[in-house]
Chain A
Amino acid sequence: MKKLILKNWRDIKARKAQFGALIILVALGISSYVSFVSAYLNLSASTEYAYEKLKFAHFSTKVISAPKRVVDKIQAIPGVEAVEGRLIIDTGLYISDGEQVKARVISIPPDQHPEVNDLLIEGGSYLKGKAKDVCLLEKHYADEREIELGDTLKPLVDGEKKEVIVEGIVVNPEYFNAVIRKAEIPSPGELAIIFMTQSEVERMFQKSPSYNDISVLLDKGANREEVIEKVEDILDPYLVIETVKREDQPSNFSIQEEIKQNQSMAYTMPFVILFVASISLFIALSRVVQSQRGEIGLAKALGYRNWQVLLHYLLFSLFIAFWGSVIGFALGTYFAKEIVELYTDIMGIPFLKHQLHLELIIGATSMSAIACILAGILPAYASARMRPATAMRADPNIALAKGRVPLIERAVTKILPISLTFRIPIRNVFRARRRSFYTVVGIAFALLLTTSTWAMLDSTNYLLDSMFYEVENWDMVAGFSQNFSHR
């Protein structure tokens, strides 16, 4: 067997380019699988981890105005781990005469971090209880507008400019994706999330001591629906507007959508690529077996067993499967890292969970092995089945020839007198019908792959164009605080 394996190796070297191309094809399939799945897994893990660390609320109930004591009542409900009452006020932020952006002011407790929807301090420090006219600014806006510690923001209160100094830059789990409406496309420089102490918000916006948002973090295993019901009962006298569950929370909703998209890509793209790869491999190996009929006959005449010949030709597949999955896995892990970094960076997810998933290694190798073995088994079996006497009978193409001029050729040549130069390729197409069929399928899938990628790019461009030039085709928007919009 040693020399048979040496022959494998030499044959591969003699067809470097072909084998290289096949390995790359398999590697692409595998890497797309690995990168999408592990991006999906790592993105989920990073998000989940960040949510856990930063105590992202399981739900928030919005009311017109509730007294502060409701918090203690809600805290007493079984299954509630923590409650945070807040004032959330949407207003405008003055940039310059003629330019103004949306701002959302959120109250936080002084001196200590909130129990729910915690803030991660990226720069500066948390707000002191006695400090006046200071705030914490959400990172997306700060980054986009290049706002630094000590800069002044000018929120509008009933049309009047106020001034607050930025004491810290923060990340908040409700605004990993800086949006305030579900399915909104984030535009980081257009929305400022500003955190100020409860008393400062009350003072600045002339509110009585009260909350208009109650956010709840649940115990593990608590029944959320039951808790929501009880919370809404308690808040009923204060006019409940809505309860937003975690999965509907605008930022989280769009993150989950992204993750889902990754997941669906993970289960389509790789299969299409691997399918193309295995068809190409099938064609290539069939040709190898065809061209080595004589060698197969010789090996058998010398006394090599059928399984040895079968294994010899299957080894080509296994070689491609092995390197395809090794390279594919390495590339995929690299791409996954880039994808997750890009996402966590864009979304401002502050933690990056990047781990190797054993199930992915197993998945990738078995996918690659299955695709390659399926592609290789038929040609290998054909080689093993050949009788040595027939295998060595002169020209292999004689075996292919059906000795008939195909109908289409007869029809075409009736109408057009085609020269022999054109007749022979046409005839070959019909002689090796199976090969022709697989070539057609292979090309079709290759086209499918390229066109679907282009189509995806096109439709995204179209979507963005119609979004910004047709649907949201305004140059300026007048923003009112929540109070106005509800009256």
Chain B
Amino acid sequence: MVKPLSKTGITTDNIVVLEGACKNYQMGEILIKALCDVDLEVKRGEFLVVLGPSGSGKTTLLNLLGGIDTPTSGRIIIEGVDISRFSQKRLTLLRREKIGFIFQFFNLIPTLTARENVEFAIELASRDRSPPETDAIALLKMVGLEERSDHFPYQLSGGEQQRVAIARALAKDPVLILGDEPTGTLDFKTGKLVYKAMKELNEIEGKTFVIVTHNAIIGQVADRVIHLHDGQIARQEIIENPISPEEIIW
């Protein structure tokens, strides 16, 4: 089924631009080129999926996009500001203000309930930026978990935990939401639910998503797919008719 709405939401306005971004790791004698000369533009309202096998540099790319790490060379421009030479302190503030993260592991604080995990991020948002409805319950409602708000992570299924993580990523009303294999540890049914939640937020709220995964099937729900190989962009695909996550055959 065709979902034209998702296309109309995309603007020509760039949220993040990567220009010749490189990231090297020195491991003793060996220099690992995790990312090499990557040029990338992420448009506001886009649902971008980065595909690549394990070790291709997906996490590294996401860390650069989100200001978790700094590039060895090249530039990263977020909403017009070059952050590639930012200090750790400024990067922290940038992450706090603009970026929402959904990770594969270590996603929730195990000793805090679902609601408290969301509040853990809400408390960081500066007052003028956060929307008035950034109430943890409202955010959990968006991912269909308002009834589980007082449950601890161990009382939630993997998919529910990831949906809490999505609610938390939204807490600061970020301009960009980054997901690193957000369904990597989930079975396909729960994985679908997590993608459904993200797609809805993309389509209805107009949130920008960059999701990295090794699972090529996920590419079908995206507006655009970037293929990453050995730290370089091999090719990109524009998906004319992204399908809804429910239609994915895993």
Interface residues of A, Cβ cutoff 8 Å to B: 1-4, 6-7, 10-11, 13-14, 293-295, 297-306, 387-389, 392, 394
Contacts and interface: CB of A to CB of B under 8 A. Distances in A.
B106 A305 contact: no
Contact of A303 (B92, B109, B112, B116): B92
B112 A302 contact: no
B111 A7 contact: yes
B116 A14 contact: no
Contacts of B111: 7, 10-11, 13-14
A302 B101 contact: yes
Contacts of A305: 89, 92
B193 interface: no
Contacts of A300: 92
Contacts of B63: 389
A3 B106 contact: no
A432 B62 CA distance: 32
Given A3-B119, A6-B116, 7 more contacts: A4-B120, A295-B106, A300-B92, A302-B101, A306-B88, A389-B68, A392-B105
Nearest to A392: B106
6 contacts: A6-B112, A294-B105, A295-B109, A302-B168, A303-B93, A303-B172
A382 to B, nearest CB: 15
Given A1-B123, A6-B116, A392-B103, A301 B66 contact: yes
List the 3 closest pairs (A to B, CB-CB), nearest first.
A303-B96, A294-B106, A10-B111
B69 interface: yes
Interface of B: 63, 66, 68-69, 88-89, 92-93, 95-97, 101, 103, 105-107, 109-112, 116, 119-121, 123-124, 168, 172
A7 B112 contact: yes
Contacts of A294: 105-106
A13 B152 CA distance: 14
Nearest to B62: A389
Contacts of B110: 295
Contact of B95 (A6, A13, A303): A303
Contact of B120 (A11, A13, A302, A392): A302
A2 B92 contact: no
B105 A394 contact: yes
B128 to A, nearest CB: 16
A170 B110 CA distance: 70
Given A1-B123, A388-B68, A10 B92 contact: no
B124 A10 contact: no
Nearest to A388: B68
Contacts of B89: 305-306
Given A6-B116, A10-B111, A387-B69, A301 B123 contact: no
Contacts of B92: 300, 303-306
Contacts of A392: 103, 105-106
A384 to B, nearest CB: 10
Most B C-beta atoms less than 10 A away, residue of A1, A4, A13: A4
A306 B95 CA distance: 13
Contacts, number: 73
Contacts of B69: 387, 389
Contacts of B116: 3, 6
> Which residue of B63, B96, B109 has the most chain A CB atoms within 10 A of its CB atom?
B109
Nearest to B98: A303
A297 B69 CA distance: 12
Nearest to A12: B111
A14 B111 CA distance: 8
A303 B124 contact: yes
Contacts of A298: 101, 103, 106-107, 109
A282 to B, nearest CB: 22
Contact of B101 (A11, A14, A301): A301
Given A389-B63, A389-B68, A392-B103, A302 B109 contact: no
A89 B98 CA distance: 96
B87 to A, nearest CB: 11
A160 to B, nearest CB: 87
Contact of B121 (A7, A302, A388): A302
A130 B105 CA distance: 99
Most buried by A among B93, B101, B124: B124
A3 B105 contact: no
- Could you say which of A10, A11, A297, A306 has the most chain B C-beta atoms within 10 Å of its C-beta? A10
A195 B70 CA distance: 92
A2 B66 contact: no
B98 to A, nearest CB: 9
A94 B116 CA distance: 84
Nearest to B119: A3
A279 to B, nearest CB: 26
Contacts of A3: 112, 116, 119-120, 123
Contacts of A13: 111
A294 B108 CA distance: 9
Contacts of A301: 66, 68, 95, 101, 103
A454 B63 CA distance: 59
Contacts of A2: 119, 123
Contacts of B112: 3, 6-7, 10
Nearest to A302: B121
A399 to B, nearest CB: 12
A14 B66 CA distance: 32
A478 B187 CA distance: 98
Given A302-B121, A389-B69, A7 B109 contact: yes
B69 to A, nearest CB: 5
B8 to A, nearest CB: 32
A370 B63 CA distance: 38
Contacts of B172: 303
A320 B66 CA distance: 37
